[in-house]
Chain A
Amino acid sequence: QLQLQESGPGLVKPSETLSLTCTVSGDSISSRTYYWGWIRQPPGRGPEWIGSIYYSGSTYYNPSLKSQVTISVDTSKNQFSLKLSSVTAADTAVYFCARLWYSAAGGAPTFDYWGQGTLVTVSS
């Protein structure tokens, strides 16, 4: 059964870089059917997509966050990672990693599996 697990510091200081890793188990991150993504959800608000990555390293990011975001993949560890630079209190949120599934029949991809999420607070 597929599992995604986020890990990383729960507290980050303003202006520093937030770093999180998602470990995938139960499936290969190198599967050609999937991208892998990061999504965040500020307290009491809706989710916000941060960006996604393919096992080859191909990425695409939310234009509103693109200048701050780097997503990378380590296929040998079946992991992918998020770095968000120059954080402020507005970046406080629960951060989820998720699998982005592309149907062989076509149509838009969808986030079919999510990790449990990890709360990251930006505060001095």
Chain B
Amino acid sequence: SYELTQPPSVSVSPGQTASITCSGDKLGDKYASWYQQKPGLSPVLVIYQDTKRPSGIPERFSGSNSGNTATLTISGTQAMDESDYYCQAWDTSTAVFGGGTKLTVL
């Protein structure tokens, strides 16, 4: 079965750029979505179709996808961005999620 791999944790200083990666076989040939989840709450879509931001998501969130790696980039990271982030892609009509990355802003 298809797998998406994320680093368990990423740390960033306030105001700096955070990059969270998601790796999977030929992931660049698929579309990646990214979800932000704060403790006790449901996931929120922040990026879809690799690079698109839903309405209401700040411009500091951006995405890319090439080769075997999709990347979520948060520019000018703020304390409120501290969350778990999950990537997701489709493989033969099956939705697959990554294991998640805890972003710490310190």
On A, residues with C-beta under 8 Å from B are 37, 39, 45-49, 52, 60, 62-64, 96, 103, 107-112, 114-117
Contact = CB atoms under 8 A, between A and B. Distances in A.
Contacts of A109: 90
Given A110-B48, A110-B49, A115-B42, 15 more contacts: A45-B100, A46-B86, A47-B88, A49-B95, A49-B97, A62-B95, A103-B49, A108-B30, A108-B33, A110-B45, A110-B88, A111-B43, A114-B42, A116-B41, A117-B42
Given A47-B86, A103-B49, A111 B96 contact: no
Interface string B35-59: 1000001111100110000100000
30 contacts: A39-B95, A45-B100, A46-B98, A46-B100, A47-B35, A47-B43, A47-B88, A48-B97, A49-B96, A52-B95, A60-B93, A63-B94, A64-B1, A96-B42, A96-B43, A103-B49, A107-B49, A108-B31, A108-B33, A110-B33, A110-B49, A111-B43, A111-B45, A111-B88, A111-B95, A112-B54, A114-B42, A115-B42, A116-B41, A116-B42
